[in-house]
Chain A
């Protein structure tokens, strides 16, 4: 059993606890044990903090990284926004001496030092990596195949972009998550402009909600054209934007889509036999019932 320090972030534990719960349980069935990262905070939000002062962003993310260094465990996380902060700051501080020294000067005041001894992973990439889990193992863990459902994938931005700094290959038309959806027995569905942003990032959701929802709405239109039963993603902030966002779109634009939005861990949980109650799907803004009826 591989062990990782589980960096929770904010939105998963505080808005979609089912995604958190599903992560522990699904990962365990695939040979990954997620350990508590005691005292971790917000990553902090790359859009908000990065925009205000990048030096604060580096220092705050470094504090979270040091907590895992002290545990001597790599970090696993389930949010693209957290990935941007935690992975990228780890990467930058490891390779940029001046930045690292600046951050350690700050951390000295709280008896911490960034050493650069651990790596950071998104749980989805661990699931996909055949050296760790791999698609075959995911397929073998399925108890309730999601047969007969059409599921679209939203990759989000900060996991794979900027491409040249990351290690995921193409960001124009990736298909690795579709493979992971197919492994659950569902039919992965392509749709127009799949890689378009959800619209929430960079502080835009807070700054200009209508503008940000208009981007989400464009995605929703493209998704409806593809006649999908559900949308899956690996970022609770994207999930919030699509899920609660659909309610806001209805209020602001007068259109309703009622498309269930599930984190990949929630979807995997369902396929591995977890009940909707165990996934707290009732906390979703958009009811998952129509999708669940097809599956269960």
Chain B
């Protein structure tokens, strides 16, 4: 499969250099990843079972083993700026097969959380946040579907936040508590104007 996302030039150059520089290591990155993910990437012995089980690996340069290694070595910038970070489908096949009982999928999720703190995030994730802030649903209802629902004898809007919009306030409170809507709006605006 042809890649659709390009590496930033700086990262491409870095990856061509296979040496490991002590000043690029951030031991606290390993600890933070382990805390958020509640798993143990430092136990990894690089057998590669994870990459071999990965549905994204055969069709891209995404290598889950590499990310676990970066976690272990504390290579924060290299892990968080790599666009492949976003190619994990979270299928958990690697987690089920890891002989060291690590959950590589959760390592990826933790790294994505840390990337977001640096505004590194694809906009499609943020648009889901915006949709939920407005309606409570990531995939909201529409008129064609409302008509179909009525034909089935269901209410036009399901008895969720759609049917009871007063509940949307609680959702907005939670998203505002974490300043997620504010940050989502800001980043989407920066990217798309």
Contact = CB atoms under 8 A, between A and B. Distances in A.
A and B part of one assembly: yes
Interface of A: 8, 10-11, 13-15, 17-18, 20-21, 36-42, 44-56, 59-60, 63, 106-107, 109-110, 112, 157-158, 161-164, 171-172, 195-197, 199-204, 206-208, 210-212, 214-215, 218, 277-278, 280, 283
Contact of A63 (B59, B87, B125, B171): B171
A112 B177 CA distance: 15
A196 B139 contact: no
B105 A162 contact: yes
Interface residues of B, number: 70
Nearest to B59: A214
A287 to B, nearest CB: 16
B113 A15 contact: no
B75 interface: no
B129 A48 contact: yes
A195 B94 CA distance: 12
Given A14-B142, A38-B159, A208-B87, A48 B1 contact: no
Contacts of B168: 41
B122 to A, nearest CB: 5
Contact of B113 (A14, A53, A203, A210): A53
B145 A197 contact: no
Given A203-B124, A211-B59, A37 B92 contact: no
Interface string B103-133: 1010001101100100001101111110010
17 contacts: A14-B137, A20-B158, A38-B164, A38-B167, A48-B128, A49-B128, A54-B109, A60-B174, A157-B89, A161-B96, A197-B55, A200-B89, A201-B90, A206-B124, A207-B86, A278-B152, A280-B151
B86 A204 contact: yes
Contacts of B160: 8, 13, 37, 39-41
Contact of A197 (B93, B158, B173): B93
Nearest to A240: B139
Contacts of B162: 13-14
Contacts of A214: 1, 59
Interface of B: 1-2, 4-5, 36, 55-56, 59-60, 86-93, 95-96, 101, 103, 105, 109-110, 112-113, 116, 121-122, 124-129, 132, 136-142, 144-145, 148-149, 151-154, 158-164, 166-171, 173-175, 177-178, 180
B138 A48 contact: yes
Contacts of A8: 158-160
A106 B174 contact: yes
Contacts of B127: 206
Given A44-B138, A48-B129, A207-B124, A36 B109 contact: no
A15 B60 contact: no
Contact of A17 (B1, B5, B90, B145): B145
A206 B125 contact: yes
Contacts of A50: 90, 109, 112
Given A38-B159, A206-B127, 14 more contacts: A8-B160, A21-B154, A37-B159, A41-B132, A44-B138, A48-B125, A51-B113, A53-B113, A63-B170, A106-B178, A202-B89, A203-B122, A204-B89, A280-B148
A11 B105 contact: no
A196 B175 CA distance: 34
